[in-house]
Homo-oligomer: A and B are copies of this chain.
Amino acid sequence: MIKAATIKEVKDNVREWKKQGLTIGLVPTMGYLHEGHASLIKRARGECDKVIVSDFVNPIQFGPKEDLATYPRDFDADCELCEGLGTDLIFHPEPSEMYLEGFHSYVGVDTLSTELCGKSRPIHFNGVCTVVSKLFNITEADKAYFGQKDAQQLAIVKRMVRDLNFNIEIVGCPIIREESGLAKSSRNTYLSEEEREKALVLHKALTVGEEMVRSGEKDANVVKKAVTDIIESEPLARVDYVEIVDWNELQKVDKIDGPILTAVAVYFGDKVRLIDNFIVEEAVK
């Protein structure tokens, strides 16, 4: 496995692979890899000739009061996991390699970025779109793999690729959960034993909500209230949002009559913010 710290190293390898007519799969990550990431790498490994994993805690997608400094990092463990899964190249640049002096460019997607996490994290998705655009250009990947855990990110990146005509296919992959039901996340490492147990309330609430939608409940506010009530029954949980939006423009809906995303963000303690969601692609008759 090649460990590349510079953009030039990646581009040199990519040029060689392209010359040989090989396809490239990209798994963009912020490192501290877990089974969620592993599922993306495995999918890429099965579908592409060469697999690149980027491992970069992207500073510009963190707000000033967020957890950039403390975001968990373990590059050696990441390398081991990637190598074990047959990754061809891991890209692990310094921020100064990605953001040169005089860096002033940005990429973003309106409308889809305004609700859900866009409300409490106003610069977040611009940072994501910008770094992802860079990674697409650096790797010239044919396919890129994103988890549905970050559903809004997935929708935004898909729209960006369509709108800006990137020559890449975005593959959305299912949420990977612990046996308990807790969605895998690098930020789970922040949770105490007790919080980790209490955090199960997210999946529990969403399971009830999904069941309601699939059984034909059309009133978004009824579903929202049921989900919120279950989460708020847990004293350690503080709801950032519980929202139901259409799974196209990500705008709030009152009536469920098409594909919808139900997404939640919940604080545990002061610094841990977890997200989870379900998508119902087919309107229930």
Q: Within the complex, what minimum Cβ distance (angstroms) separates A125 from chain B?
A: 11
Could you give, for residues 112-129 of chain A, a 1 whenever the CB lies within 8 Å of some chain B CB and a 0 otherwise?
A: 100000000000000001
A74 proximal to B (CB < 8 A): no
Which residues A131-184 have CB closer than 8 A to chain B?
A: 133-134, 137-138, 140, 159-160, 162-167
Q: Within the complex, what minimum Cβ distance (angstroms) separates A56 from chain B?
A: 13
Q: Which residues of B contact A104 (CB under 8 A)?
A: 109-112, 159, 163
Nearest CB to that of A165 among chain B residues? B137
Q: Which residues of B contact A200 (CB under 8 A)?
A: none
Which residues A66-115 have CB closer than 8 A to chain B?
A: 100, 102-112
CA distance in complex: A164, B126 (Å): 13
Nearest CB to that of A129 among chain B residues? B105
A248 proximal to B (CB < 8 A): yes
- Given contacts A102-B248, A159-B102, A248-B102, whether A165 and B107 have CB atoms under 8 Å apart is no
CA distance in complex: A133, B105 (Å): 12
A133 touches B248 (CB 8 A): no
A103 touches B138 (CB 8 A): no
B166 touches A137 (CB 8 A): yes
Which residues in A have some Cβ–Cβ distance to B below 8 Å?
A: 7, 11, 100, 102-112, 129-130, 133-134, 137-138, 140, 159-160, 162-167, 248-249
- Given contacts A7-B165, A134-B164, A140-B167, whether A107 and B105 have CB atoms under 8 Å apart is yes
Nearest CB to that of A19 among chain B residues? B21
Give the residue of B105, B108, B160, B163 whose beta carbon is less than 8 angstroms from that of A163.
Answer: B105
Q: Which of A103, A105, A109, A133 has the most CB of B within 10 A?
A: A105
Pull 21 A–B residue pairs with CB atoms less than 8 Å apart, ordered by A.
A11-B167, A100-B163, A102-B249, A103-B163, A104-B110, A104-B111, A105-B107, A105-B108, A105-B109, A105-B159, A105-B164, A106-B107, A106-B108, A107-B107, A107-B133, A133-B164, A134-B164, A134-B165, A137-B164, A137-B165, A137-B167
